[in-house]
Amino acid sequence: NAGVTQTPKFRVLKTGQSMTLLCAQDMNHEYMYWYRQDPGMGLRLIHYSVGEGTTAKGEVPDGYNVSRLKKQNFLLGLESAAPSQTSVYFCASSYQVSGANVLTFGAGSRLTVL
Amino acid sequence: QKEVEQDPGPLSVPEGAIVSLNCTYSNSAFQYFMWYRQYSRKGPELLMYTYSSGNKEDGRFTAQVDKSSKYISLFIRDSQPSDSATYLCASDTTEDGNNRLAFGKGNQVVVIP
């Protein structure tokens, strides 16, 4: 059981380039999330999805787009990368345990924008 | 103001000491309170969660919630070097009917052998 898989694990971009981060989960979870984690800032929610075909903005959505065409996949796109988007990106999916929303995270994708 | 505040200062303790971590939250509607543990260069993983006020114990770990003061605590007894990690508190919040966790910034804990 792979859980949540993120690709790629590392990427270096030049300013203005575009890229897509892929998240795949095999747990049949409805909810999926993209977070970024920066030193001293903690986890900040970029976008999330409550089901196939749906997306919603989180805390820091500017400069990112997402798509959830299939239930198991959640894609995060950067159309024109900026140095401020240098970060570690985490994807997560969630399920309910006795009403609690429990997140399962991927291993992270480290992005550097030069 | 973030919905969940956690002083991100690092914490170093000798092996065997008690580790005490704290968070405060602002949303009175929060009902579930979680602690995630994140090892270096890994994704966070759920350590434990509690519902409403009270204590929950799991081995050497105890989570406490005081809803009257909006205070969340995690205690680690007999700390081990393997407990060295970043610990993030989180609370659930619902907007537009969707559940989304609010995370604190995390505390880096180092247990020195």
Q: Quick check: A6 and A109 in contact, CB under 8 A?
A: yes
Contact A102 B31 (CB under 8 A): no
How confident is the model over A14-66, as pLDDT tens digits? 999 999 999 999 999 999 999 999 988 889 999 999 999 999 999 999 999 99
Query: Has residue B12 got a pLDDT over 90?
Result: yes
A2 has a chain B CB within 8 A of its CB: no
Mean pLDDT across B97-113: 86
Structural tokens at position A73? 């996949």
- Looking at residue B95, what is its pLDDT? 57
Q: Give residue B1's pLDDT band: very low, low, confident or very high (50, 70, 90).
A: low
How confident is the model over B74-96, as pLDDT tens digits? 999 999 999 999 999 999 865 55
Contact A45 B42 (CB under 8 A): no
Query: Has residue A100 got a pLDDT over 90?
Result: no
Q: What share of chain A in percent tops pLDDT 90? A: 86
A100 interaction partners in chain B (CB closer than 8 Å): 32, 34, 49, 51, 92
Q: Give residue A104's pLDDT band: very low, low, confident or very high (50, 70, 90).
A: very high
- Looking at residue B90, what is its pLDDT? 93
Strands A10-13 and A109-113: parallel
For testing contact with chain A, the best of B25, B31, B32, B39 (most A CBs within 10 A): B32
- Looking at residue B94, what is its pLDDT? 59
Structural tokens at position A59? 């805390």
What DSSP character marks residue A79? S
Contact A40 B105 (CB under 8 A): yes
Please tell me the distance from the alpha carbon of residue A79 to that of residue A59, in angstroms, as a whole number.
19
Say which residues have a Cβ less than 8 Å from residue A63's Cβ, sequence separation at least 6.
A78, A79, A80, A82, A84, A85
Query: Has residue A98 got a pLDDT over 80?
Result: no
Contact B103 A43 (CB under 8 A): yes
How confident is the model over B29-69, as pLDDT tens digits? 888 899 999 999 999 999 998 888 889 999 999 999 998 99
Strands B54-58 and B61-66: antiparallel
Contact B43 A42 (CB under 8 A): no
- Looking at residue A1, what is its pLDDT? 63
For testing contact with chain B, the best of A105, A109, A110 (most B CBs within 10 A): A105
Count, residues in chain B: 113
Q: C-alpha distances in angstroms, B93 versus B58, B96, B99?
A: 24, 10, 6
